[in-house]
Amino acid sequence: MQSAYLFFIFAAPMELTAIIEALLIASEDPLPISEIARLVRARVAEAEDALAADAEDYDAGSKPELPEHLSVLGNLNEDAVTLAIAELNHNYEITGRAFLCAERAKGWKIYTRPDYAEFVRQLFPGRKPSRLSGPAMETLAIIAYRQPVTKASLEAVRGVSCDGMLQKLLDRELVKVGGRAELPGRPLLYETTDLFFEHFGVKSVDELPNADELRSVKLPEPKDVVEEDSDDSANSDDKAEDADNFTAEEIEKQLALTAAGVPKAEAVPESDSKAAE
């Protein structure tokens, strides 16, 4: 029963930064700060339980104690985890590593730096970057800044039917149905997904460029319109693709600037990518 205790005694002390790095590498999903702290504390509690079980084999005066490098982690808080991640990124920066810790909507994860994107892309020769069309980007921008929003509100802003563009965004999992509005007919409410935030490298709507200003702009009121069939709505969006809408163009550029320098930035239209540069 003394094996666990002996392991802790003779094991080399572990730094918090190294422990967090191991957790981020091993986890398939991003880890929130709170979950990282919980995992570390859980490991310390497990060690304490092992020592308590081994204590029965020792005399009262020689009761084993938890090694210092573990005991100091027993009360680990989120602030300490945040500082350790910052130290990790600093070490990556000064040593010229090809990756960094980045926080997304669901938590922290280790990503390769955008500078190496062209090399990493060679691992996936069958995948070609896909670009959103102008109308799709316009629709996505409106949803991002004004979510949750109904289809009628989208159409009031764009001036055309949005069925086709909404379906494209739903298919790409950039937008989802977030519920129903407390309005006559209980229309669906649309909002962005976690994939959207990861795609554009932001954690929340508040981190979008000029979020406060653009979210406070008064939008046109939706009018009662007769539903058109999907073919007609798709044609409406195709025609709108060539339209020159200054407001939509500015919003698209804001999203493009946000996406610049993060993975998958290729999803921004070419004209906006140039603006981002």
Question: What type of residue sits at position 210?
Answer: N
φ, ψ dihedrals at 221, nearest 5°: -75, 135
- For 149, the enclosing helix (H) or strand (E) is strand 149-150
Q: Between the ranges 89-103, 141-155, 258-272, where is the mean pLDDT highest? A: 89-103
φ, ψ dihedrals at 241, nearest 5°: -60, -30
Residue 111 has pLDDT above 70, yes or no: yes
pLDDT for 151-189, tens place per residue?
998 888 888 888 889 999 999 889 999 889 888 889 899
Q: Where are the domains of the chain?
A: 3-123, 134-276
Q: Are strands 107-112 and 99-104 parallel, antiparallel or unpaired?
A: antiparallel
Contacts for 221 with CB less than 8 Å, ≥ 6 apart? 156
Structure tokens belonging to residue 181: 């509005």
pLDDT for 237-270, tens place per residue?
544 444 334 444 555 555 555 544 444 434 444 4
Round to whole Å and give the CA distance between 79 and 213. Answer: 31
In this prediction, residue 271 has a pLDDT band, given cuts at 50, 70 and 90, of very low
Contacts for 180 with CB less than 8 Å, ≥ 6 apart? 186, 187, 188, 189
Look at residue 262 and give its three-state secondary structure. Answer: coil
**Residue found by looking up tokens 């600037």 in the block:** 257
From the options 3.40.50.300, 3.10.310.40, 1.10.760.10, 1.10.10.10, give the CATH code of 134-276: 1.10.10.10
DSSP per position, 171-221: HTTSEEEEEE-SSTT--EEEEE-HHHHHHHT-SSGGGSTTHHHHHHSPPPP
Within this chain, domains 3-123 and 134-276 share the same CATH topology: yes
Q: How far is CA 116 from CA 113, 201, 264, in A?
A: 6, 16, 12
Which pTM value belongs to this model?
A: 0.62
Q: Are 189 and 181 in contact (CB under 8 A)?
A: yes
Average pLDDT score, the chain: 76
CATH number of 3-123: 1.10.10.10
Residue 121 has pLDDT above 80, yes or no: yes
